[in-house]
Chain A
Amino acid sequence: MSSLSRLGKVFGLVLSFSMVLMPFISRAETVPAIAAAANIKFALDDIVKNFSAETGLKVRVSYGSSGNFVAQIQHGAPFEMLLSADERYIHELQKAGFARDEGVQYAVGRLALVAPNKSPLTLDTELNGVKVLLAAGKLERFAIANPEHAPYGERARELLQKLGLWDGLQTKLILGENASQAAQFAVSGSTQGGIIPLSIALAPQFKALGQSIALPAELHGPLYQRMVLTPKAGATAERFYLYLQSDAAKSVFVQYGFGLPAQ
């Protein structure tokens, strides 16, 4: 029993210690929380770094699925800005009264066909490699984002339908919860490949794991990525919103395989 009570004392000490420390933890109150679609993570991380270096201001970015963020903002999430993977979500937010205005387009998304290193899949812009592999019965698994709620998944489905591959791939599809998870699946080695955002395929972290090829934008509807400030936006968020429309930010988006909106 003595060792037990000693253990209890130690645990109690740790607990009280953390309680004492609690007030001293810096609260990031003045740093605005910003919600962003998972597919722009690599580009936005760079842009945030440049923004902080230039202005000395900080922002906290949470990455996730655009649809999720819209639901959370409607339930009172403290996000001051949303960078969506698709325009529709911004319009939805505006209709519900949780956006300042109609927002602005900040980038145009592209799709990429990817394959993990050592995959038998050959990459080409018409997806002939996929057709060959499918016909040979060697395509077991193919990853895309969930077309039900992820914009990039929806566009991947359009592209596959246009190329007449959708029906044949039905039983082979692995659905990622968002574009980034689809990319995970595509290069996990358990799939032969997948269709993911070009912006993720061009990230250095991704290049180590697989090959990619950009797919023609004519094969699917446009992926206009739009952002908007919410009614909670403060001065820092407003400044970041303007910075995202600057040439400095635009060049980073281009570097990560995004097109620029016609202004």
Chain B
Amino acid sequence: MDWQALWLSVKLSSITVLVLVPLSILAGRALAYRQFIGKSWVEALIMVPLVLPPTVIGYYLLVGLGSQSWLGQWLERLTGQQLVFHFSGLVLASVLVNIPFALQPIQRAFEAVPHDVRDAAACCGMSKLKILLKIELPMVWPGVLTAIVLCFSHVLGEFGVVLMMGGNIAGETKTISISIYDSVQAFDFGAAGTMSLVLLLFAITALALTTSLSRRLGGQRGANHR
């Protein structure tokens, strides 16, 4: 069992969730309540990571953020360090890849908040921020939690992106899924089996949790829930 790799994956998952979920709450709310030109294009763009192979995303990040690209060089000057083959690069990649996993459930939850509730709150003279904190967030909370669980477990199992732009460096970019791959390559089936089992149990638990959450969400306001 490669504890260092497991810890690195948990760290990556946690940071991705912390970065992505607050952003998704803002973006999800905007997408749910606002109509603007090109909205369907924006929504389509958000879904792209779902249909693109992770290796393709990894390849674009490797070439686009590498030390040979102007963007990579500019970012290196800005932050004083390289993004690819570094933990921070994995965070950026995980955030990009997981946008649909975070945004979808949150946007759906906001869409399910009844109009009249928000109108009533506005009539009572509540500010926009207060409505968000006191009315909307408690109502969309199951959606947010679904996003957290989905994101966390999805990052935990990320392989293609990390393989392409991580470089498999222990303690820096060698995540649990890469470690499993390495163990199999080294004929260490015991370690590979143990680590795979940990991920499998985690995935089943996460999915069971998500299913029961979305059922609650659906049950509470089934009429509006798409």
Q: In the complex, which of the residues A71, A74, A76 contacts B72, with contact meaning CB atoms closer than 8 Å? A: A76
Query: Is there a chain B Cβ closer than 8 Å to A60's Cβ?
Result: yes
Bitwise interface map of B from 58 to 84 toward A, beta carbon under 8 Å scored 1, else 0: 000011001110001000000000101
Residues of A within 8 Å of B142, CB to CB, are: 4
Q: How many residues of B contact A (CB 8 A)?
A: 36
Q: Could you say which of B10-18, B24-32, B121-129 contacts chain A? A: B10-18
Asked whether, in the complex, the Cβ of A75 is within 8 Å of the Cβ of B63, the reply is: yes
Query: Is there a chain A Cβ closer than 8 Å to B215's Cβ?
Result: no
Q: How far is the CA of A226 from the CA of B63 in the complex (A)?
A: 26
Q: How far is the CA of A71 from the CA of B213 in the complex (A)?
A: 44
Q: In the complex, which of the residues A18, A62, A180, A209 contacts B186, with contact meaning CB atoms closer than 8 Å? A: A180
Q: Could you say which of B97-105, B112-120, B164-172 contacts chain A? A: B164-172
Which residues of A61-91 are within 8 A (CB) of B? 62-64, 71-72, 74-79
Query: Is there a chain B Cβ closer than 8 Å to A19's Cβ?
Result: yes
Q: How far is the CA of A75 from the CA of B62 in the complex (A)?
A: 7
Q: Could you say which of A7-15, A126-134, A237-245, A247-255 contacts chain B? A: A7-15
Q: Which residues of A contact B (CB under 8 A)?
A: 1, 4-5, 7-8, 11, 14-15, 18-19, 22, 25, 27-28, 33, 35, 38, 41-42, 60, 62-64, 71-72, 74-79, 178, 180-181, 183-184, 203, 205-206, 209
Can you list the 8 inter-chain pairs with the closest CB atoms, starting with the nearest? A76-B67, A75-B66, A205-B187, A62-B168, A180-B185, A77-B85, A28-B171, A77-B167
A-B contact pairs, 19 of them (CB 8 A): A7-B209, A11-B145, A15-B18, A18-B10, A62-B170, A63-B168, A63-B182, A64-B168, A74-B68, A76-B72, A76-B84, A77-B84, A77-B85, A78-B82, A79-B167, A178-B185, A203-B187, A206-B187, A209-B187
